[in-house]
Structures are given as C-alpha cells and as structure tokens.
Structure 1
Amino acid sequence: MSSNADAGTDRLADALEEHASLEAELADPAVHADAARARRLGRRYAQLAPLVENARALEEARGDLATALELAVEDASFAAEATALEQRVAQLDDRLTELLLPKDPDDDKDVILEIKAGEGGAESALFAGDLLRMYLRYAERRGWSTDVLDAVGAELGGYKDVAVAVKSRTDEGIWSRLKFEAGVHRVQRVPVTESQGRIHTSAVGVLVLPEAEEVDVSVDPNDLRIDVFRSSGPGGQSVNTTDSAVRITHLPSGIVVSSQNEKSQLQNRESALRVLRSRLLAAAREEAAATASDHRRSQVRTVDRSERVRTYNFPENRISDHRVGFKAHNLDAVLDGELDPVLDALTEAHTAELLAAGS
C-alpha cells in the first residue's frame, strides 16, 4: 500500500472517530448551554457527515459486490448486477478520495467580504455597488443572512469601500464557497458619464476574510487605539449629529478598521472589532501557510487592472474567470446572483489541483 493510501486510511479512521465523538457531545444537553460551542460542534459534525455517509455506502457496496461475485459463479444472471456494483464501488471510492483531501481549516466559517473601488474613479465605485448587490442576491438565494458593517458611499453612487458580514443560518460553511472571490474584478462597459459611447475599463478589489470568533483571535485592549468621529455620507456630508463612528487601530500590526453604519458608537465598535479579528486571523493563517510553503492564493494587494481574476464585459454580456478559463454569456443573470456555475468551476479546479498534488 502506498504512503498516500496509508495517509488516506489514517484520515478516514480519524474522521470516523471524530464524528462519533461529536455525535456523543451533541447528544449531551449540557453542551447546548453554550450556544457558540454547540454551533461550532454542529458545523464540524455537518462537515464530516458526507464523508461518513460515503464511507458507509462504500463499505455496503463492497459487501454487496462480494456477494454478487460469489453468486455469479453459480448463476450467470448475477453477472450484470456485479458489473453495476463494480461501477458504484469505483464511483464511491473516487468520491471518498475527494472527501479525504486535506481541508482548509476555515471552510466551515462565515465570512466578512470587503469591496473596494480602485482604478476607474466614479465608474469603479458604481461597479463596487453592482458587486455588492450581486453578493447580497447570491446570499439571498443560498438562504444566508447579510449585515453591512461599514459603507463609504461615492458622490455619483456606488461605494468607495463597503464591508458586509455573510452568515449561514445552518451548518453550511460560507468560506468554502466564497473564498475564491478574492482578487481584482475588472469591468468593461460604457460609463453613464461617457458622452462619446466609449467602453471604459475599471477595477474593483474584493477581499474575503473568514470571520474570526473570539476563541480564534485574542485581542489585547491595550493594543488598540480607538477614535470616534462623526459619520459622513457621500461627498463628506454628515449623516448624523453625534460622534458615533469608530476607527480602531491595532498598534502591533498597524491594521486600521472603521465602522460608521450603525446608529450607536457601541454597535460600530463591535462591528469594527469583528472586521479586525477577521483580518488578524487571515494574517495569521497567511503567515502560517507561507512558513509551511503552502501559501493560499494571494488576495488582492493593489487594485489595478493587471491583477484581474475576473472580467465582466457588458457589451458582450460576458463573464470570464481568468483562473480557470470559465466563460459564460449571461452576465445579467450573474450580477443578479447566479454565481453557482463559476463558483463550481473554481471549486472543481481546486479539487483537481489537490488530487494531482496527492497522486
């Protein structure tokens, strides 16, 4: 047996043992007194469920195949059943191999998604608004809840910068689905401000962060500088008369986050802390991955047109994802939240890479 097969067998045994342990824990009423812990355990249990179900189905199919092969020796009518069972065993075995691939530790987490206007001025800000609507519509289709944590509007509409928390109402992990959205998104269209009808190219940066829980990241209050200021809307006009907006600077890392979307200073402070914890977790994960020489796909560093991951071409109603060669001519539907086909293509390509690396 190869080392890869041995590793797969060990991972399966560990997963089955963990699943049984989680099942016992979740059956204990005392566990549910801590809602956060119960939710965390429930998510992990749900994450392991497909693997356990597949392993059990494979074991059953192998048993049925052995019986069919024995019977086929005496009765040729069982030969067709044995052939069908051989195909099912092969399919279940391939699926089990995929399910046993090393998992991203953040796959079961909710996310904080940030959209930042870049090159293109007003047109970039308008497209940032289009992308926000796309993600909100996609979340609605999936049954996820969304909460806009901070939004800095632009004079002609759209956003210079907007952050939204996306949460699952079930045990579905959102990071596993949306992590590939990180990068520079390029738009090609005739801006509303263009009088000559010329097509312009603009860029918007998207960052996707796994939302950190307090147990994931410890933030020392002494490391924070917290400033309050008056919230302002597009063009700098004040939108309220109190100093309710909050800016938090994490002194050791230099990370600065702000929130002005909530009505109270306390709510804005909590929203800003949520973003800060998630950025710190992402930075820690990135550092650990780099140390292990297994760095994740880099997210957007600078928002310019040359680092694009995807292009939205309005004249041709076309969306193109440059990482996997995906193309479709239903841009209007995609911007209305029909993201699954392109996300499926990205997920399948990532799985193929992991399989190739392990072969």
Structure 2
Amino acid sequence: MHIIRSFRVCSLCSTLISRSGRSRGGWRTLLLLQQTSIRHSEVTPKRFSHGDFLDLYENESVQKYVKQLMDEYTDISQKLQHAHLSESDRKAFIKKHAELVPLANVFKRTEQAKKDLEEVLSVLHSTTATEDEDEHLIQLLREEETQMTSRILSLKKDLIKVLVPTEPLDSSDVVLEVVSGRTTGGDICQQFTREMFDMYQGFACYKNWDFKLLNYTPAEYGGLHHAAVRIAGESVYRHLKHEGGTHRVQRIPEVGLSSRMQRIHTGTMTVIVLPQPKDLNLHIEPKDLRVDTFRSRGAGGQSVNTTDSAVRIVHLPTGITAECQQTRSQLQNRETAMQMLRVRLYQSMMGKETEQRHTARKQQVGTRSQSERIRTYNFSQDRVTDHRTGYSTRDIKEFMKGGEELDELIADLLEHVEREALLEVVDSRTLSQSESGQSAD
C-alpha cells in the first residue's frame, strides 16, 4: 500500500495507477508520452555561460541571506495582521512585504518540489519489481524523478534571479553613440565605427526595438566619425548598458597600402550608452545655454550642407555639449540637440550620485586607448572576445549582423554581472551585520 500514498506527489502516477481498471496498453501509452518528453528536453541546445546561477544557490552566504529574507518576510506578514500598527509603519511593512513576495513564492515552490522529490525517491527505493506492471511503475517513478529534478534546478535558478538587485533604469530607452578612435588606426577606425553602427541597428531590429537616427557624421571611404541614435523598446538599457566602452578591431584594411601588403592593423572606437528615462523632465534655464549654428560637415547630399542648419548647444554651467546636423531644418536639429543635451545632463547628474553604475559618459569614453578595451573583434582569426568575461565566439561576420550571436554574448555578460552584483549585496549585508555585532559587544 506504500505505492498508493506516493500518488499525491506524482500527479502523473496518480492518473496512471489505481488498483482498479488499469491496463497494460495504458502503461505503454503513458510511458511513450513521458519518454518522448524527456527525449525532447535532452536535445534542446543550451547556451554557453560564463558562470551558472545554480552554483550560487549552494553558496553558504547566499543560503544564509535567503533564510534571513524569508524570516523577515514571515515576521512582516505576522506584524501586518496586528490592528494596532500606526499608518506609517503599516505602509512601510506593506512596501517591504511586496518586495519580498516574489522571493517567498519561488522559495515555497522550491521547497515543496524538493519534498515531492524526496517522497518519489522514498517510494522508488522501497518498491520491488515483482511483476511486469511493477517494473513499469519503477520506470515511471525514475522518469518522474528526472523531471522533478529538472524542475527543482529551474526553480533554484529562478530564486537566484529574484535575489539579483535590479537597476531602476533597466527599463529605460537609451541614446547610443558610436565614436571613431582618435589616436590609433586611422581609416580602419572609421570603417569599424560604421560596422558597429550597422551592428547595433541590426540588433535593434532583432529585438524589435525602435531605432531613430539623431546624428550621423560620415567619413571618407564609407567610414563613420560619429553617430547618435535613440533606441526605444523593452528593457533596452538593461541589454545595452554594458556595451559602453572601448571596442578594439584587428584586421587587414579593405583599402589603402596596408590592404595590398596584407598587414594587420589595430584600431579602436567607442560606444556610449546613456539611459533615457521615460519620465525625464529636466528643466534647463535658457540663460544657461549657448546655441551655435554652422554648416553641416561631411558628404551632405540633398543640400543638407548648403545652409547653416546644423545646431550645437552648450550648457554653460557644466560645459556639456550636444549637436545635430541631420536634417536641413534648423528647428528640427535644435529639438534633437536639446533632447540629447537633456539625456547627457541627466546622466551627468546620475553619475555623480551613483558612480558605481559605470554608465557616465566620461567613464565610457575614457581615453579611447587599447588598454581600456572591453571587447576585441579579430577579423583575421574570425573571433570576437569580451575581455570582462572571457566569452569568445566565432563567425565574426555573422556576429556583426547584430542577431542571435550578439544577443548570446550580452546574455552571458548580464549573467556574469548579475552574479557579481548579488555576491556584493550578500557580502555587504554580512559585513554590516558583523559590524553591528561588534558595536553591540
């Protein structure tokens, strides 16, 4: 009868096995369904990862942190049932309770799944195959064990993701700029900058984001000096915030003497990613601005550079500058330049308040030297390497299209950064509690 009590933890088994009216045909059909499901899960490809979230679940400090949060959740839940709370305390408890609910839900599901697995294992270890139907039962229990183990691993990963601190700007749109390197590479930098611009345009298309051109200053031989775009969509800043920095290229130039001599050149370009909060309403005093107009540079085309339509706006108190020469309309260029100026001013303010964000324009631009590179694009070896995680991928031409390959690299980088962020929170809390204990002594 021990088999019957196991059915409450195995919905499949409870459906399959009732001592009345079971048939061998039913067993075979259900076995086939489960085996098909397992085979399907086995062939699902998995993305290479710098580090898996699952090992964090086994981290002693993380487990202690989770227990503390769950104790806090239980304590708050009990306090909210008391009628004598003040209005201010109740609001504070409700807010904290809401923050802990996602963690509590995943934690409870994880613990229940672990209990269910223990019961399945208990039944499996105590069952003896005495007839064909019992052999089928054992097989089903083993398959159920496999599925439940997989579910527990997924829940553990979900739990760690809930713990990862989020940035309030992650859902923001961005202004993304690409800037050709100044000190190395010459034409190769400008050509690479254009390719990087095309890559991010392809990535925006891949993610179904809106890609609006704000400024575009071309260079000779089809290269690009500078371009700025506004990218809008779901969680744009979260995906692009770590793209800011110096990108290095190594290749044989497509034109010039070096191309004929088959010499590999090295160049750099800079990506700048500035968040644009949806509720950005930054007031700027007109007296603090200097507005200059000038004739557009570059190849022009369609009379863009035949009038003084380009606009440069300088915020005098900070020296922050924005310009636009994209259209023949001075008014439109001015509106675009003001939009970019607001974003840069906002980012400057946020950079002073939270230096750890690493998204301030000055931090991303740096000196544009090769020593500050975050990623190398080696065309000669057909390889892209991110130096922050060690992630490497081949087929550089496919990568530069800005599709799945770039998405996988960014996903790996996000997982790496979020792992480090969680460990930093856990260590910070541990240190704070240790200091509090010493003060109490």
Give me the TM-score of the superposition, normalised by structure 2. 0.63
Pick the aligned partner of 1:247 from 308, 312, 330. Answer: 312
Is 1:156 the counterpart of 2:221? The answer is yes
Q: List aligned pairs for 1:1-359, cutoff 5 A.
A: 2=64, 5-7=67-69, 56=105, 59-60=108-109, 62=111, 85=148, 88-89=151-152, 91-118=154-181, 119-168=184-233, 172-191=234-253, 192-193=255-256, 194=258, 195-213=260-278, 215-234=280-299, 239-290=304-355, 294-296=356-358, 298-338=363-403, 339-359=406-426
Deviation at 1:68, TM superposition (A): 7.8
Asked if the contact 1:117/1:203 (under 8 Å) is kept, the reply is yes
- Which letter does structure 1 place at the counterpart of 2:389? V
Alignment partners' CA distance in 1, 2:379 and 2:198 = 16
Alignment partners' CA distance in 2, 1:226 and 1:60 = 59
Alignment partners' CA distance in 2, 1:161 and 1:239 = 17
- Which letter does structure 2 place at the counterpart of 1:352? R
Asked if the contact 1:154/1:235 (under 8 Å) is kept, the reply is no
Q: Secondary structure at the match of 1:231?
A: coil
Alignment partners' CA distance in 2, 1:141 and 1:11 = 40
Asked if the contact 2:176/2:229 (under 8 Å) is kept, the reply is yes
Deviation at 1:340, TM superposition (A): 1.1
Structure 2 vs 1, CA of residues 337 and 69 (structure 1 numbering), >3 Å: closer, same or farther? closer
Higher mean Cα deviation, 181-190 or 264-273? 264-273
Asked if the contact 1:181/1:208 (under 8 Å) is kept, the reply is yes
Asked if the contact 1:8/1:100 (under 8 Å) is kept, the reply is no
Asked if the contact 1:107/1:174 (under 8 Å) is kept, the reply is yes
Cα RMSD for the two superposed structures: 3.4
Deviation at 1:308, TM superposition (A): 0.9
Q: Secondary structure at the match of 1:343?
A: helix
Deviation at 1:196, TM superposition (A): 1.4
- Which letter does structure 1 place at the counterpart of 2:251? R
Structure 2 vs 1, CA of residues 203 and 158 (structure 1 numbering), >3 Å: closer, same or farther? same
Alignment partners' CA distance in 2, 1:72 and 1:312 = 50
Deviation at 1:263, TM superposition (A): 3.2
Alignment partners' CA distance in 2, 1:152 and 1:240 = 12
Deviation at 1:10, TM superposition (A): 6.3
Identity of aligned residues (%): 37
Alignment partners' CA distance in 1, 2:388 and 2:104 = 32
Deviation at 1:89, TM superposition (A): 4.6
- Which letter does structure 2 place at the counterpart of 1:184? T
Q: Secondary structure at the match of 1:311?
A: strand
Alignment partners' CA distance in 1, 2:381 and 2:282 = 45
Q: Secondary structure at the match of 2:214?
A: strand
Structure 2 vs 1, CA of residues 73 and 113 (structure 1 numbering), >3 Å: closer, same or farther? closer
Report how many residues are paired. Answer: 317
Q: Secondary structure at the match of 1:232?
A: coil
- Identify the structure with the greater helix proportion: 2
Asked if the contact 1:149/1:262 (under 8 Å) is kept, the reply is no
Deviation at 1:344, TM superposition (A): 1.4
Alignment partners' CA distance in 1, 2:299 and 2:180 = 14
Asked if the contact 1:213/1:277 (under 8 Å) is kept, the reply is no
Structure 2 vs 1, CA of residues 161 and 141 (structure 1 numbering), >3 Å: closer, same or farther? same
Q: Secondary structure at the match of 2:328?
A: coil
> Residues 26-79 of structure 1: CA distance to partner in whole angstroms, max 9, x if unpaired?
xxxxxxxxxxxxxxxxxxxxxxxxx97786465456557667878998996898
Deviation at 1:277, TM superposition (A): 1.6
Asked if the contact 2:173/2:278 (under 8 Å) is kept, the reply is no
Asked if the contact 1:211/1:274 (under 8 Å) is kept, the reply is no
Asked if the contact 1:58/1:89 (under 8 Å) is kept, the reply is no
- Which letter does structure 2 place at the counterpart of 1:280? L
Alignment partners' CA distance in 1, 2:73 and 2:351 = 24
Structure 2 vs 1, CA of residues 74 and 101 (structure 1 numbering), >3 Å: closer, same or farther? closer
Alignment partners' CA distance in 1, 2:275 and 2:75 = 28
Deviation at 1:103, TM superposition (A): 1.0
Q: Secondary structure at the match of 1:209?
A: strand
Alignment partners' CA distance in 2, 1:222 and 1:9 = 55
Asked if the contact 2:217/2:224 (under 8 Å) is kept, the reply is yes
Give me the TM-score of the superposition, normalised by structure 1. 0.77
Match of 1:18 in 2: none
Flag structure 2 segments of 5+ consecutive residues without an equivalent. Answer: 1-62, 77-99, 128-139, 427-441
Match of 1:21 in 2: none
Alignment partners' CA distance in 2, 1:9 and 1:249 = 53
Flag structure 1 segments of 5+ consecutive residues without an equivalent. Answer: 15-50
Structure 2 vs 1, CA of residues 123 and 90 (structure 1 numbering), >3 Å: closer, same or farther? closer
Alignment partners' CA distance in 2, 1:268 and 1:13 = 57
Deviation at 1:82, TM superposition (A): 8.0
- Which letter does structure 2 place at the counterpart of 1:356? L
Alignment partners' CA distance in 2, 1:221 and 1:243 = 21
Q: Secondary structure at the match of 1:156?
A: helix
Alignment partners' CA distance in 1, 2:318 and 2:306 = 32
